[in-house]
């Protein structure tokens, strides 16, 4: 079985990324781009990002996770700390986040280190979730092998009865990570594959070094 994809072509012509129109701090540019992709049509979940970790088996692994908050310090997402992802982060907190927004022909690649956020912050977000999502976090031993989906459905049904009319508290093994960036690269598609790539690199004095990369 094979399929030649060499004929897939597209000319990127929607925008540009030039040094004289960008801020000194990459988080400001991220905020601008995120707002613009939110306002544009053609993308359901602009907060969907790829999280790349180095697994305990020595292989890198990517998966799509939803960004839930960002601020001047970094980027926050939530997961099961005992999952394959959580164990990988515990062993090596250096990871990569990437966003791909094809409707605006843009990518962002973020390198940084992850650390658990304060328990009260994880509690606050967990409380904001629908009850079904709360119970799902308790039911699933994320990344573990299970015999069938029926097992999950049965556990969920049992928990729904157990917690009926009761407060559902966050389990200790579930919570948030903040990724504090050391490098953020912004990629804007341009014609003739001469794409704009601007990289911000954090310096020892906490200023950001700005460089243009060849496409």
Annotated catalytic residue 190: no
CA–CA distance, 10 with 195 (Å, rounded to integer): 13
- Long-range contacts from 22-31, C-beta under 8 angstroms, 24+ separation: 22/186, 22/198, 22/210, 24/207, 24/208, 24/210, 25/72, 25/200, 25/208, 26/181, 26/184, 26/186, 26/200, 26/208, 27/70, 27/71, 27/72, 29/186, 30/70, 30/108, 30/184, 31/70
Catalytic-labelled residue, pool 63, 170, 190, 193: 193
Residue numbers annotated as active site: 193
């Amino acid at each position: 079985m094979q399929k030649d994809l060499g004929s897939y072509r597209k000319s990127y012509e929607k925008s540009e990324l030039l040094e004289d129109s960008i801020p000194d701090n990459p988080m400001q540019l991220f905020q601008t781009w995120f707002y613009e992709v939110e306002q544009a049509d053609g993308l359901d979940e602009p907060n969907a990002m790829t999280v790349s970790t180095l697994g305990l088996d020595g292989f890198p692994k990517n998966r799509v996770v939803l960004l839930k908050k960002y601020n001047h310090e970094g980027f926050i997402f939530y997961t099961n700390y005992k999952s394959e992802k959580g164990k990988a982060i515990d062993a090596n907190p250096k990871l990569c986040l990437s966003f791909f927004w094809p409707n605006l022909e843009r990518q962002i690649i973020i390198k940084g280190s992850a650390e658990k956020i304060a328990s009260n912050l994880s509690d606050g977000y967990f409380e904001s979730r629908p009850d079904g999502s709360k119970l799902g976090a308790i039911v699933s031993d994320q990344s573990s092998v299970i015999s069938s989906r029926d097992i999950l459905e049965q556990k969920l049904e049992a928990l729904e009865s157990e917690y009926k009319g009761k407060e559902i508290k966050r389990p200790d093994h579930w919570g948030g990570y903040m990724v504090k960036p050391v490098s953020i690269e912004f990629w804007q598609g341009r014609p003739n594959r001469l794409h704009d790539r601007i990289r911000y690199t954090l310096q020892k004095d906490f200023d950001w070094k700005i460089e243009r990369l060849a496409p």
